[in-house]
Structure 1
Amino acid sequence: MEDEIFQGIEDRSPFVAWIHNISLNQQKYMKSKFSDYDFGHDIRYIMFIYDHPNCSQEDLVNMFCQSKGNIAKILKKFEDEGYIKREVNPENRRKYMLNVTEKGKDLAPKYRQFAKDWEKEVGITDEDGILKERLKEIAIKGMKLIEDK
């Protein structure tokens, strides 16, 4: 019996291939909803800053496992476009606190609603809490596995 193939992966593909597929398709959906913007996957940084007022660039580096240079470039773009602002941290004048602007604050609820709509459309429900917790555990273990190397 042959496996069904979806977007280049099949029933016997590794579990992580399916997770990657879910992520890519969610990104494509979100991009279609935000077609007037050029955010791509980088909107996650605006959302992190929205959820963590006064966070630092280092917080983003650690959370998303990205280089300092890559994060700096993305933040510069969002700052130039008026979605975020940097303010000198009064406790450490060499560091900046990141916050969203009013423009960023207007964007965040729209993004959240589209994300909820996507989850509803693909069948993710409140009853999937156990699955979500298990996936979080796997993600954390994966991050720790790399940290230890």
Structure 2
Amino acid sequence: MDSEGYYQAITRKSPFIAWIHNISLNQQKYIKSKFKDLNLGHDVRYIMFIYDNPNCSQEDLVNMFSQSKGNIAKVLRKLEDLGYIKRQINPENRRKYMLTTTERGEDLVPTFRQISKDWEKEVGITDEDYELIQRIQEIAINAMKLVEGE
């Protein structure tokens, strides 16, 4: 922080959402720095989503991460080429794929979760913050619902 109270282009007077966005960006930078030897960057979040939601679809990722179909397709192709995920045709709809993690992708999960816990500890997130975290989750869900109907 400089003498005028600026942090990475936001100030103490910046809106709440700017601070949330800043937290997210800095967590992604931290995670990317820990996975730089794997050439994954923040794409690891897609592996985690697929791991936590086996047989999800590309459309599920588009909706979850608010990314374009083209961007998600590109990332999935990369993750498949690197051996972290696999796509299988959905027997109920042959035009769609079901996504699962491979053994290589599953091996990454404990490391990622530990790095996330380390980040939380380093930035000062504690067990006492549980109620605040729940409230922010509620706000995020309300925000998603607000734009779903648009």
In the superposition, the TM-score normalised over structure 1's length comes to 0.92
**Residue 41 of structure 1: how far off its partner (Å):** 2.0
Answer with 123-132 or 43-52: which moved more: 123-132
Percent identity at matched positions? 70
Residue type of the partner of 2:66? C
Unaligned 5+ runs, structure 1 = none
In the superposition, the TM-score normalised over structure 2's length comes to 0.92
How do residues 2-21 of structure 1 correspond to structure 2 at under 5 angstroms?
4-21=5-22
CA–CA separation in structure 2 for the residues paired with 1:12 and 1:93:
51
Structure 1 consecutive aligned stretches of length 4 or more whose deviation exceeds 4 Å: none
Answer with 44-53 or 4-13: which moved more: 4-13
Aligned to 1:21, the other structure's residue is in SS state helix
**Residue 131 of structure 1: how far off its partner (Å):** 0.8
The question of whether the paired residues in 1 share the 8 Å contact of 2:33 and 2:41 is answered with no
1:36 matched to 2:37? The reply is yes
Unaligned 5+ runs, structure 2 = none
Aligned to 1:146, the other structure's residue is in SS state helix
- Show the counterpart of 1:64: 65
- Show the counterpart of 2:128: 127
CA–CA separation in structure 1 for the residues paired with 2:4 and 2:19:
14
- Show the counterpart of 2:26: 25
1:98 matched to 2:130? The reply is no
Give the aligned CA root-mean-square deviation in angstroms.
1.4
CA–CA separation in structure 1 for the residues paired with 2:20 and 2:85:
30
Residue type of the partner of 2:94? R
**Residue 3 of structure 1: how far off its partner (Å):** 5.5
Q: Tell me the number of residue pairs that the alignment of Structure 1 and Structure 2 aligns.
A: 148
**Residue 133 of structure 1: how far off its partner (Å):** 1.1
